[in-house]
């Protein structure tokens, strides 16, 4: 994303002699606007643009094209220098990024809680050095909350900076040892990277899809497509009518991707192929015709011109708003956030990005590196200092409890969930589900909402052999759909039950009303086989981490804020599932009634929800999962299985 904005600056400004002779192409500047707007819309919550994030993939193609074009031009003049190239990259990208990071850290001192800082301080440090994608690859897991990760968007800058670091060396090697073979070399890079991306995107192995999304090695093919275009590998078309049609087809491909990305297959491969090919067609054939007219409109080009700064600022603005007002936004809030992001991008472009570039490009390359090192060090120091200051600024009891629960996350996941052993993308059924061939075998099946209850149910039923089959990727129902390991494992557990090896099944997940028919069928089939079935209803959920909700309510002095953040619209799911399960002969346990019992005067009247478990700690540690003590409270309320 970054280089897409900045490489165009290289090709159009007078600050770089090698780029100056390259013809300025206004339609590429306009294409950047076509890329950034869907990103803003999907991140603001406009679900119609569900695939808006493919704008980043379009930027990758633009980046590969423009950077390859510039490097090859300098090589042809025999004046390419790696040190000058790296210095220009820091000068182009650094000022706006480092100011944004510092601003987020300073704003966070007053807007965030101490529990937010362990993650944010690390994110800022990695982002400052353009390696945020590696951080998110290593830390993103099932429980990660993307909506409130303030610097998540900087992963794409990491991918591009690693491209800047490695690709010029690759081109220098090609020019030296395989002169005239740039197309073959870049083509081989694209094929290898795309193959790796396809394998990872389709893999059921835990962490594979995160690697496909975040790592440079599995994203390099997108940048390499632009590089192939810059090398002249795309066939030339002389007829203006055909060129214009191909460019419009490219725009249509990007538009289709924005609206139908979920139908294109796993992402980023093959899901990102369509928008990337579309971007190639626009760049290759859009120099004239209707696509050029559209993309060269002044408002479109202006949005494209400020796209880098807009990208930098849009996500922190949206996350800060959500942290205060909830993840689900009304229409006017979404519109306001898009407008605020564009305005912030314009201010950043004119006040920070352009002046910062001009100043740094006026320095000797050695001085640019010194300034870059100093700025990175400054962000690191500010990040660590802010992390230490945060507890003193927000030190209420609820804020302290939120920090305590955040610090216990790793221990809790291992003990409460048996994460990585009996809960995950794949588990060992022999270890986690080992029927004893007696009349007391119970299997707890489902997602994380089942895993959170296993230990509590086991301890509450000492006369039972309680086993755990909890997976990511599908619901615990017959004829399940989803990840293959999950579907196959649940099918095996249901087969055990039919063979009489399991007496009782406990099913739990983040249910929806549409799951009622599948649940009824499952319960009915298991009851016909003589198996008892208990279904745990959908969890009570909040728009953001529940300890954080309590802390903000305390800071505001507004107890009503807690209920305002509860996703009360999900209450309607409970009676639908209860009717389906009980009608099929199963036992239904309502988490809603456990946590938010209806008033005595009305069976489904206004809800007054519990905020704390029996140990006086918050009942949830995130948006909906129960803390260990709250899980114990629920297990005790359920009674004997």
Max avg pLDDT among 61-75, 108-122, 195-209, 601-615? 61-75
Work out the widest C-alpha separation in the chain, in whole angstroms.
85
207 pLDDT band, cuts 50/70/90, is confident
As a whole number of angstroms, the distance between CA 347 and CA 405 comes to: 39
Other C-beta atoms closer than 10 Å to the C-beta of 560 total 9
By CB atoms closer than 10 A (0-12, 13-18, 19+), residue 349 is buried
Share of the chain above pLDDT 70, in %: 93
> From CA 370, how far away is CA 268, in angstroms rounded?
36
- Per-residue confidence (pLDDT) for residue 356, from 0 to 100: 94
Average pLDDT (360-375) is 92
Residue 559 has pLDDT above 70, yes or no: yes
Cα gap 448→426, rounded to integer Å: 13
**Please, are residues 289 and 247 in contact by the beta-carbon 8 Å criterion?**
yes
Q: Which has more confidence, 518 or 111? A: 518
List, for residues 488-534, the tens digit of each pLDDT value.
999 999 999 999 889 999 999 999 999 999 999 999 999 999 999 99
Name the DSSP letter for residue 282.
H
Q: Retrieve residue 351's tokens.
A: 């006040």
Number of Cβ atoms within 10 Å of the Cβ of 192: 14
The terminus-to-terminus CA distance of the chain in angstroms comes to: 54
Strand partners, 469: 445
pLDDT for 415:
87
Let me know: does 346 contact 306? Beta carbons within 8 Å. Answer: yes
Domain 405-638 -> CATH class: alpha beta
Written as one string, the DSSP assignment of 504-536 is EEEEE----GGGHHHHHHHHHHHHHTT-EEEEE
Give mean pLDDT, residues 182-188. 95
Distance, CA of 341 to CA of 52 (rounded, Å): 16
pLDDT band at 396, cuts 50/70/90? Answer: confident
φ/ψ of 552, rounded to 5, equals -65, -40
For residue 467, what is the enclosing H or E element? strand 465-471
Helix (H) or strand (E) holding 319: helix 307-325
User: Taking all residues of the chain, what is their mean pLDDT, rounded to a whole number?
Assistant: 90
State the Cα angle at 332 between 328 and 337, rounded to 5°.
75
For the chain, what percent of residues have pLDDT higher than 90?
Answer: 70
- Asked whether the predicted pLDDT for residue 12 surpasses 50, the reply is no
Residue 391 has pLDDT above 90, yes or no: no
pLDDT band at residue 17, thresholds of 50, 70 and 90? very low
pLDDT score recorded for residue 147: 66
Query: What per-residue confidence (pLDDT) applies to 429?
Result: 83
Q: Is the peptide bond before 280 cis (omega within 30 degrees of 0)?
A: no
| pLDDT tens per residue across span 445-490 | 999 999 999 999 999 999 999 999 999 878 999 998 888 888 999 9
Cα–Cα distance between 170 and 161 in angstroms, integer? 14
- Phi and psi for 589 in degrees, rounded to 5? -115, 120
Angstrom distance (rounded) from CA 607 to CA 168: 62
Q: Give the up-direction half-sphere exposure of residue 473: CA atoms within 13 A in the CB hemisphere.
A: 22
Handedness of CA 197, 203, 209, 215 (dihedral sign): negative
pLDDT in tens, 410-451: 777 788 989 888 998 778 888 898 766 556 789 999 999 999
Query: Tokens 């694209």 sit at which residue?
Result: 190
Phi, psi (degrees; rounded to nearest 5) at 508: -145, 140
pLDDT exceeds 60 at position 2: no
* Residue owning tokens 């909906």: 624
pLDDT band at 20 (very low <50, low <70, confident <90, very high): very low
Domain boundaries, the chain: 2-393, 405-638
pLDDT digits (tens, 9 = 90+) for 120-177: 999 999 999 999 999 999 987 666 666 678 999 999 999 999 999 999 999 999 998 9
Whether residue 268 is preceded by a cis peptide bond, meaning omega within 30 degrees of 0, is yes
587: left (phi over 0), alpha (psi -120 to 50) or beta: beta
CA 285/CA 249 separation, integer angstroms: 10
The DSSP output letter for 46 is -
Residue 293 scores a pLDDT above 50? yes
Identify the pLDDT of residue 231. 93
Angle between helices 273-285 and 55-76 (to 10 degrees): 50
Position 600 pLDDT exceeds 50: no
pTM of the shown model: 0.89
Quick: pLDDT tens for 605-628.
Answer: 567 899 999 999 999 999 999 999
Both structure tokens of 76: 């042809």
Asked if 127 and 97 count as a contact pair (C-beta separation under 8 A), the reply is yes
- 61/115 Cα distance (integer angstroms): 38
Predicted local confidence at residue 27, as pLDDT: 94
Alpha-carbon distance 641 to 621, whole Å? 26
């Amino acid at each position: 994303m970054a280089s897409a904005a900045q490489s165009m600056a290289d090709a159009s400004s007078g600050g770089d002699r090698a780029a100056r002779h390259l013809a300025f192409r206004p339609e590429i500047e306009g294409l950047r606007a076509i890329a950034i707007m869907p990103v803003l819309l999907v991140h603001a919550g406009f679900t119609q643009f569900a695939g808006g994030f493919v704008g980043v993939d379009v930027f990758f193609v633009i980046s590969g094209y423009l950077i390859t074009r510039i490097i090859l031009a300098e090589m042809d003049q025999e004046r390419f220098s790696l040190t000058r190239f790296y210095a220009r990259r820091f000068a182009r990208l650094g000022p706006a990024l480092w100011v944004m990071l510092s601003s987020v850290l300073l704003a966070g001192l007053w807007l965030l809680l101490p529990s937010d800082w362990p993650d944010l301080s690390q994110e800022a440090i990695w982002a400052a050095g353009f390696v945020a994608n590696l951080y998110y690859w290593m830390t993103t897991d099932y429980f990660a909350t993307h909506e409130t990760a303030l610097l998540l968007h900087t992963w794409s800058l990491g991918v591009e900076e690693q491209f800047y670091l490695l690709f010029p060396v690759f081109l220098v090697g090609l020019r030296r040892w395989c002169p005239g073979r740039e197309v073959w070399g870049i083509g081989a890079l694209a094929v290898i990277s795309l193959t790796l991306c396809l394998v990872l995107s389709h893999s059921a192995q835990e962490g594979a899809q995160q690697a496909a999304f975040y790592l440079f090695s599995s994203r390099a093919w997108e940048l390499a497509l632009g590089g192939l275009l810059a090398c002249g590998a795309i066939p030339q078309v002389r007829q203006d009518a055909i060129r214009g049609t191909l460019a419009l087809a490219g725009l249509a491909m990007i538009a289709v991707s924005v609206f139908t990305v979920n139908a294109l297959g796993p992402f980023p491969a093959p899901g990102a192929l369509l928008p990337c090919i579309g971007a190639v067609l626009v760049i290759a054939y859009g120099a004239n015709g209707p696509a050029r007219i559209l993309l060269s409109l002044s408002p479109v080009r202006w949005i494209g011109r400020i796209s880098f700064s807009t990208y930098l600022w849009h996500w922190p603005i949206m996350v800060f708003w959500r942290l205060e007002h909830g993840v689900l936004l009304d229409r006017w809030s979404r519109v306001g956030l898009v407008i605020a992001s564009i305005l912030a991008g314009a201010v950043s472009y004119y006040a920070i990005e352009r002046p910062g570039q001009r100043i740094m490009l006026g320095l000797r390359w050695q001085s640019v590196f010194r300034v870059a090192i100093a700025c990175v060090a400054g962000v690191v120091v500010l990040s660590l200092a802010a992390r230490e200051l945060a507890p003193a600024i927000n030190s209420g009891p609820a804020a302290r409890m939120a920090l305590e629960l955040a610090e216990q996350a790793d221990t809790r996941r291992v003990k409460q969930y048996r994460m990585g052993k009996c809960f995950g993308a794949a588990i060992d059924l022999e270890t986690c589900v080992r029927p004893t061939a007696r009349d007391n075998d119970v299997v707890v099946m489902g997602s994380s909402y089942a895993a959170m209850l296993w230990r509590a149910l086991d301890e509450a039923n000492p006369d039972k052999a309680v086993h755990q089959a909890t997976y990511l990727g599908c619901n615990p129902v017959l004829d399940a759909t989803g990840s293959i390991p999950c579907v196959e494992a649940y099918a095996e557990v249901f087969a055990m039950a039919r063979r009489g090896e399991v007496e009782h099944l406990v099913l739990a997940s983040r249910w929806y009303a549409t799951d009622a028919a599948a649940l009824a069928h499952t319960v009915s089939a298991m009851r016909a086989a003589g198996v008892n079935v208990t279904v745990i209803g959908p969890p009570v959920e909040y728009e953001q981490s529940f300890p954080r909700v309590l802390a903000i309510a305390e800071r505001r002095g507004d107890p009503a804020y807690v209920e305002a953040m509860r996703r009360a619209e999900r209450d309607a799911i409970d009676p639908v599932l209860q009717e389906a399960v009980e009608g099929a002969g199963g036992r239904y346990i309502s988490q809603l009634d456990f946590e938010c019992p209806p008033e005595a005067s009305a069976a489904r009247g206004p809800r007054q929800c519990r905020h704390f478990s029996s140990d006086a700690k918050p009942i949830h540690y995130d948006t909906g999962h129960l803390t260990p003590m709250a899980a114990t409270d629920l297990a005790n309320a359920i009674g004997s299985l």
